[in-house]
Every structure is written in C-alpha cells, then in structure tokens.
Amino acid sequence: MDSWSYVDTDFEESYQLKETLFSTANGYLGVRGSFEEGLSKKIKSVRGIYINGFYESEEITYGEKLHGFPDRSQSILNVIDTQEILIKINGENFSLENGTVLFYERNLNLKEGVVTRLIHWKSSNGDEVKLVFKRLTSFVQRELFLINISIEPINFSGELELISSVNGDVSNIVSEDDPRIGTSNAKALSVVEVIVDSNKSFVKATTEHSKLAVVGSISHKCSAKFDETIEKGKQKITHSFKGQILKGEKIEFTKYAVYTDTRRHENELKQNASFLETSLKYDFKHFENLQKEYLHVFWEHSDIQIDGDLEMQQGLRFNLFHLVQSVGKDRFSNISAKGLSGEGYEGHYFWDTEIYIFPFFLFTNPDLAKNLLNYRFTILDFARKRAKQMGHTIGALYPWRTIAGDECSPFFPAGTAQYHINVDIAYSIIQYYQVSEDITFMSEKGMEMLIEIARLMHHIGHYNRNDKFCIDAVTGPDEYTCIVNNNYYTNVLTKNLFNNIGKIWSDLSIDVTNNLKSKLKFVESELDDFKNAGIKMFLPFDEEQNLTPQDDSFFNKKVWDFENTPKEKYPLLLNYHPLTLYRHQVCKQADTILGHFLLENESNLETIKNDYNYYEKITTHDSSLSTCIFSIMANRIGSHDKAYDYFMNTARLDMDNLHHNTKDGIHTACMGGSWMSVVFGFAGMRLVDGVLNFHPNIPKKWKSLDFKINFKNRILKCHLERNTINIKLEKGIPLSIKINDTIKIIS
C-alpha cells in the first residue's frame, strides 16, 4: 500500500462509490470520477460536474406552511458535461464491458493531484491497445479541467477515431426516500447558446429561478495529424478526430475544458473564451507540474506523518487532499457537506464548516480559514433578514442550510431550531482571532458578526426565577433530540461568546469601535448585558449523579431499547418517525460531549469522564460527525484503546464506505474530524486563554507522529513518541506553550 495514492483494480465493483472517491476538484470546480468512454446501463453512473455556489432555487412545497418557514430551496447543479471521449479502434468502440481487459488500474495521486487510469485492452477482433487516461482539475487555473489520453497500439496498425463532446443535456439525481440526498428538480439547466468558433466549442445554459448562467467550453490538442470534424446540435457539440495509427507508436490527445459562471465572471462567455485560448498555449505536462507545485506547498504545511500505521496514514492523506479540493476559495463559496464530489445534501453549507473543517485550515492554512469566515460575512445581511423572519427584533440568525445565504431547511425541528449555528460561527471567529491575531479582520468583519450573533442569542434568552440566563426551544447538535430547553451545547457556546466579545472589543481601535457603534447603532451597555448573561448562563447539571444533562428534560426520557433494535434499522432516521426518536434517550451524534471538547474548562475531568461513559452507551453514531469527537474525548479521559477504535471509523469512513452512502459524495466534516482526532486527540492539543496546551499519547502501534501547526505567525514542528512531544520552532519568534500542564518556552 502506498500512503500517497488510492488505487483501484476492479472497475465493475462499486462504480458509483469510486466515482466519488476518484473525483477531482479545486474548490471552484468539481468533477466526479466517471469514465470518459461511459458505461452501459448495466453499471449505473452518476456523472456529475459541479461549480461551488452555483445553484438553482425552487419553491418549497408544504402541506401546511406556517409563518417563518423558508420559501425556496437552493440546490447545487450538475452542470455542462465535458467528460465524454469515445474511442473507436478499427471501427470497434472501446469499452471495458466489451472485448477483453488484460490490465486495469486507476490511481489517485494525492501528492500530485492527478488521476491516472491504465488499461491494456483487446478488441473482439484481437487488436490490443494500451491506454493511459490522466485527468486533473487545476488548482492554479480554477476554471480549467483537463483530460489527457495516451494511446499505443500493441499488435496492429489501423484506424483510430476519437469523439469528444460538450453536452448541455444534463440533470440532477432525485431521491424522495433519503433526506440526505438532493430532492431538487432533476432538469434545472436550459441551454440558451451553442457556439462553434474555429476548433473551440461553447455551450451556455441558464437556470430558470436563480437567474444564473454557466458556460462550458472545449478544445483539443493531438500529437498526430488527424482530421477534425465538428457537429453542432441544439444542446451538444461533438468533435471527431480520425486518422491512422501505427503499431508501437504512441499518440497523445488532450482535451481542454473551461467553465465560467455569472456569480464570478462579469462576461462569462467572453472570459471563458479568453481562459480557453490562454490554456491552449500550454500542454498537459505544464498544468501537471503546476498542480504538483501547488500541492507541494499544501503538504509542506498540512501533512501528518504516522510511522507504524500505513492504513491510517493513507486514510488521513486521502481526507486532507479531498478537503483542499473541496474548500471554497472565493467569497461566493464555502465547503459543503459533500464537497464537490456529489449531490448529497443538495450542496448545502452547514455548521460542519466551522466546527469540524475550519480547525484544520486554521492551524495549517489560515488564509483558507479566513476565507471561510469571509463567506459568512458576505451572507450577514441574509442572516439579519432571517432573524426578522423568525420574529427577532435585533441581531442575525445564520441559516442552517444554505448556498447563497437564504435558509433552505424545510424541516425546522432539525433545521432552523438549531440556533447553535450562530455560536458555532462565533466560536470560529474567536478561535481565528486567538490563533492569527488578525486585528484587521476583526475590525472590518469579525466584530460586526460577533455583535449581531450576540444580540440574537441574548434576544432569544431570558432570566428564570433563579436569575439564571436560559435559552428555550432550540435543538442542539443531536438531531434525535429536538426543540428542548437549555441544550448544554448551545448554552455553553453562547456563554463563550458572551465571555469573549467584550475582551475582543477592547482590542479594537477607537476609530473602529466608533464606526461599529454608528453602523450598527450599538451601545457599549450591550456588552454589559452580554457579560452578565455569560456570568449567569444556566448550564444544566445533575449534582447527584455528577452528570451533565443534554438539556432540561433529557434524563426524564426512556432510554432507547438498543438491545432489541436490529442492525438493519440503522440509521434510525430512515426507519423511525422523528417523534419516536425525540421521546427517548438516544443520540445521533456527540452533543454534550462535543461541548466538553470545545470548552473543556467549563467542567472538571471527573464530570467529563462520567458524561462520556453515559452518553457513549446511548449514541448511535448515525452521523459521520460523531466518532471523531468520541475519539478525541476518549483520549482526554485516558481510554486510549477506545480512542483508536473510534479513530479507525473516522479516518477511513469514505475509503471503506462505512456509512454505505459515499456514492452520494464524500463526508467533508468527518474528513476534518480525522485531522482533529490526531491533533486534538492523540496530541491532545487545546487552545486555552490564547496558549497552546498539549496532552500527548499516541496509539501503541505508532512509532511516531509528526505534524506542523501554524500559530500566531509561527510554524511549530511537532514530533511525538508514545506520551512525549518535542516541539521545534520552524518559523517566528519564541513563545510559551504548556505540555501536560507544564510551561515550556519554544525557541
């Protein structure tokens, strides 16, 4: 096993799953790993190309619509297809389902960012050919997708025909049975222009409701002098190349595909043509080298090196590679639950970004982390509007599910009611400031978001008869327990916001604070209100059992009958009515335990241990977000073997298809969670009062663990062996950290 690659040697097995795993993307454009030549109906394919933040909006149909319910959905679209290249050898169609496959291998190179497919094929006439397909979605030129094919006839000379197309006749998948898969209108794009200009072809399509347009274009280079003919249809343009090939002589064929859209490009057609023209000046190798250079810098900062566990090493690198492929790199985009590899969850952005994915970028590539927060700032006005729709007179309420900023979640108990999305975003803003010390960001964007979030959270709370600040009728991270009072997680993260906003305010210049007061009609007495609410925040606690209730009513419910629930009934959300779940003590994922991880100092270690042991028994981990948190906290309480077991279910969840739905797209939050499991779990890293703390203890089978941390403009190189850690300052000035509660100076 090579930990820098993912290799497949059986094209027939789990084809849709591998379309996801071999997807290539760059944060703007994503292409599923479908075969260029296609497949018959016997092997089903979900062929897809997606643009981050490009969506269609439709009216949400309710049987009974109440005030404040979202009006419209937003769904990522499968856009114009440029993957198709058909190959004919002496008149016979090349297909892995016909003829004889003498050799097959597909390789995703994580270090170089290229997918390579190697094939030795014999036609029914006995003609043998070796084919090498390479594809990449460029990190350097985000609009560009490339396919390169090398063709070598082994035992014959004859005729070769290559048929390449750009096709606007595309659709999305629809599933009414699984809420995790998109349910949008399958046919959302309409072709409005089909243009041939010399040897370049362009298809432009538009959406009906979101009023967005996309252009997909293609052109080609061929090392042999083949005749090219172009056929223009109403939705599809086909380029055919025909010529003679000689035994033992390779030819190379490269397809250039460029995408532009109206959200990023002022004149999408003109700019597309310009990008295509510029790209054609360079061969495939040029972009292959640029891809390698980009990833060299990424891995230099982001790689985790495990000595002694090749399987987990491969899983981690696979996950981190897909994260950098998926993360949005402009103000129009974020990172969706399925990245750019599939249509699951309709391409929506969730709280996953801030709590599970943001930490990886924060501590390795802080500029990308800041970009994720920049996106939240661009939709702040939508959040203000949503707050008013929900009856709040002040502040901002961020959408639970969105692409362009509007709330898109039609099921409010496990959607809109999850007000913790607000304090999740606030938590990440605070963490970003503590890690980066970026006062400019806080002055221009961060503090404005914090104020509006704090106002909203203060508005929904109230003081009870014991003068404790309470938050009623919300849903925490656990979606099997909805609409509760005083969800511990929500309350403790709100307390964190209230405790920190005044401290950060005092770091801002007078000019900045005066500007915020004027712009937001903000008065400093509001800071006193926040501070008082933080001091008096009600955090549910059962003193008799030394346990933290998930909410006010949780311990009063009947425990779910796990013993008599058959395996085929999991995940429970697909087999039981929500009310059945809400009436029981059963958790879909970490909730209170997640609160303990994020704000560990709010509880003593004995309580955390008790809570861990209690909630572990009633948590199904039906969410992919769960096992990483249980791994991290198992390490914290000293259950190191258990921590490794949970980590195994995190690091390779997609590679091994552990949740049986990776065909619909990767699980980006779980991928971020695998990084957290190592750095926050086995290395025991925490940020407490602006100081890095480490409590290291790596798995027994690991000889060593190495990774880097970007912290306060410093690069720290961390080397761990068993329960020891050695930290070197690779860049920046000395600083103090804590290792097992002992202060160390790193210089």
Give the active site residues.
479
- For the record, the structure tokens of 98 come out as 């016909």
Q: How far apart are CA 101 and CA 435, in angstroms?
A: 53
Q: Which residues of 392-415 are buried (b: 16+ CB within 10 A; e: fewer)?
A: beebbbbbbbbbbbbbbbbebbbb
188, 80 in Cβ contact below 8 A?
no
Q: How far apart are CA 630 and CA 303, in angstroms?
A: 23
- Residue written as tokens 């549910």? 540
For 200, how many CA atoms within 13 A lie in the half-sphere containing its CB? 19
Backbone angles phi, psi at 530, to 5 degrees: -65, -45
Rounding to the nearest 10 degrees, give the CA dihedral for residues 72, 449, 330, 323: -90
- Residue written as tokens 């390490």? 635
Q: How far apart are CA 217 and CA 280, in angstroms?
A: 12
Q: What is the DSSP string of 86-101?
A: EEEETTEEP-TTSSEE
Q: What is the DSSP string of 465-497?
A: TTS-EEE-SB--S-TTS-SBSS-HHHHHHHHHH
Amino acid present at 707:
F
C-alpha separations of 284 from 22, 139, 409, 723 in Å: 19, 14, 42, 47
C-alpha separations of 679 from 483, 616, 682, 695, 741 in Å: 33, 22, 6, 10, 17
C-alpha 494 chain-centroid distance:
25
730 DSSP assignment = E
The helix or strand, by DSSP H or E, that contains position 227, with its residue range, turns out to be strand 227-232
C-alpha separations of 646 from 200, 635, 682, 697 in Å: 51, 10, 12, 15
C-alpha 65 chain-centroid distance:
31
Nearest to 474 by CA among 489, 458, 464, 452: 489
Q: How far apart are CA 511 and CA 533, in angstroms?
A: 27
Backbone angles phi, psi at 214, to 5 degrees: -135, 145
Q: What is the DSSP string of 411-455?
A: -GGGTTT-THHHHHHHHHHHHHHHHH--HHHIIIIIHHHHHHHHH
358 CB-near residues (< 8 Å, 6+ apart): 369, 372, 428, 431, 432, 672
